[in-house]
């Protein structure tokens, strides 16, 4: 697992055996751009969902380089600010899993959408395929705010013609047995469910053409 080096000025903004290798995949990179859910806060690095996806690729002898670019506390603005650093290398697939901290901090939905749109535009310019993951607000924000926030992800996915996982924590959120004591971050079992959920959309993307 490769952890993306973080410039000092960004620190305050705070992953079946026997198959033959696929030669066309050699030298290809997938980057997970996210927050603490992606970084695997509270878990050993090897139990973060990007690491579980990397382990799956290795088990299938598929030579993808996996970069966990998750930073605890990160927002869509922080993710956008890190793109120049991230794109110092070729990124074949970019998984965008940002927005939860925007909502929790009360950042206007319009600004979150603007930042995500800028991230998707940059990815398109760089030739990266994108998997967008949706996030949701907790119930205490109220149904109207929840609906407005959740709606921005399918809207952007349709606009940019990218696949969407509607909710990153589907089947995990609010399940005590799948989360750590804070009730927010998945435990090891929950992270495995997140990895399995993402794989449904991500697996076919990693088998496709450049």
Annotated catalytic residues are: 36, 182, 185
Q: Which of 199, 208, 170, 202 is nearest to 186 (CA)?
A: 170
Q: How far apart are CA 146 and CA 22, in angstroms?
A: 42
- How far is residue 66 CA from its own chain's centroid? 12
Closest CA to 165 of 62, 49, 68: 49
CB burial string 77-113: b at 16+ within 10 A, e below: bbbbbbbeebbeeebbbbbbbbbbbbbeeebebeebb
């Amino acid at each position: 697992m490769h952890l993306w080096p973080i410039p000092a000025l960004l620190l305050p903004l705070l992953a079946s055996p026997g198959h033959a290798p696929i030669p066309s995949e050699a030298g290809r990179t997938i980057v997970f751009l996210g927050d603490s859910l992606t970084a695997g806060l509270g878990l050993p690095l090897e139990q973060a969902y990007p690491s579980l996806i990397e382990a799956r690729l290795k088990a299938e002898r598929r030579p993808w380089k996996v970069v966990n670019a998750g930073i605890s506390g990160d927002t869509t603005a922080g993710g956008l600010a890190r793109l120049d650093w991230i794109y110092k290398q070729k990124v074949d697939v970019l998984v965008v899993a940002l927005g939860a901290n925007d909502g929790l901090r009360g950042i206007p939905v319009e600004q979150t959408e603007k930042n995500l749109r800028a991230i998707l535009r940059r990815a398109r310019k760089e030739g990266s395929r994108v998997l967008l993951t949706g996030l949701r607000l907790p119930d205490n924000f109220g149904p109207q705010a929840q609906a407005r926030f959740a709606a921005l992800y399918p809207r952007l996915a349709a606009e940019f013609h990218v696949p969407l996982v509607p909710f990153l924590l589907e089947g995990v959120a609010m399940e005590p047995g799948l989360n750590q004591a804070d009730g927010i971050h998945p435990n090891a079992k929950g992270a495995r469910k997140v990895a399995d959920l993402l794989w449904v959309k991500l697996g076919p993307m990693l088998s496709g053409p450049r």
